[in-house]
Amino acid sequence: SCVGIGEADYTLLRKAMDNPPPLLAVKGEGAVFRLPAVAVVGARNASLAGVKMARMLAADLGRDGYAIVSGLARGIDTAAHQGSLSTGTIGVLAGGLDMPYPPENAALCIEIAERGGAVVSEMPFGWQPRAQDFPRRNRLVAGMALGLVVVEAAQRSGSLISARLAGEMGRLVFAVPGSPLDPRAAGSNGLLKDGATLVTEAADVSSAIAPLAGARVSRIAPLAEPPDLSAMPPPREDDRAGVLEALGPTPVAVDEVIRHTGLSAAQVSMVLLELDLAGRLERHAGGNVSLVS
């Protein structure tokens, strides 16, 4: 089947992408798209330890209620899909749905669709994937998820492209550390040096993404629209003081500010807007905010 931007199964997160594909070909269950998603990607020539880690992370995150998104490549991608078959996984193809790559994953595509997951592509049926189609696929993998985990990646790899795209789209970026002597870990270790969140277990991912996943659920119902600030009275001085006290130079999630101050989302949004207009607020990836130092 095909899903367009205006349809229910075309998730809010993908609509938040720059230049989202207007149409996706989908094989499998639409329900998996309603789960908050985490992308797990990595090297095709993965080590046994990397494969085991990817499968374990995917299984544990699946049990925590997340769909696992990956690119159906050999190695880490395949392990991530296998680990989350029973909880919900989404495979993204670079070619048409009838042209799985690598060909040996054709059976995995069928199993994903039959076990409650989905395989998707923005390319038409019969499209043989070309080299330039894989970065497009990586962009879709990153855009469908709240965060992206790189398990193993060489210094120059498609997984690092996915991580860069995820960061540019405001998604959280995670990496599993590896041996400095293994070239398959050079890229993921480099991400950690550049500020990616270190991952040794699924809880490292779910604890960071949980506030975003909760925010997503609240956005879906009922109207999927931000608060109407035009009808709000101006914030009171004690509202402003409460938000200012909650903020500092360290980025925090807006949801945490709302919980800490006890104000409504609309009230906090109004104060943040004032601070933004005054040049006192800095916005960060993942929707976090801080005061300009």
pLDDT band at 60 (very low <50, low <70, confident <90, very high): very high
Cα 141 from Cα 171, distance rounded (Å): 11
Q: Is 183 left (phi over 0), alpha (psi -120 to 50) or beta?
A: alpha
Between 186 and 4, residue with greater pLDDT: 186
- Average pLDDT of the chain, as a whole number: 85
pLDDT digits (tens, 9 = 90+) for 33-56: 889 999 999 999 999 999 999 999
Q: Which residue ranges make up each domain of the chain?
A: 2-216, 237-291
User: Of the CATH numbers 3.40.50.2000, 3.40.605.10, 3.40.50.450, 2.70.70.10, which one belongs to the domain with range 2-216?
Assistant: 3.40.50.450
Judged by DSSP in three states, 84 sits in coil
Distance CA 219, CA 265 (A): 12
Model-level pTM? Answer: 0.70
**Bridge partners, 283 (sequence order):** 289
What is the predicted pLDDT for the residue at 286? Answer: 63
Q: What is the pLDDT of residues 229-255, one digit of tens each?
A: 455 567 788 888 989 988 988 888 888
CATH (residue range 237-291)? 1.10.10.10
Cβ atoms of 170 and 56 within 8 Å: the answer is no
| Tokens 């109004």 belong to residue | 270
Round to whole Å and give the CA distance between 219 and 246: 23
Task: Express each pLDDT in 263-293 by its tens digit.
Answer: 888 888 888 888 888 888 888 766 788 888 7
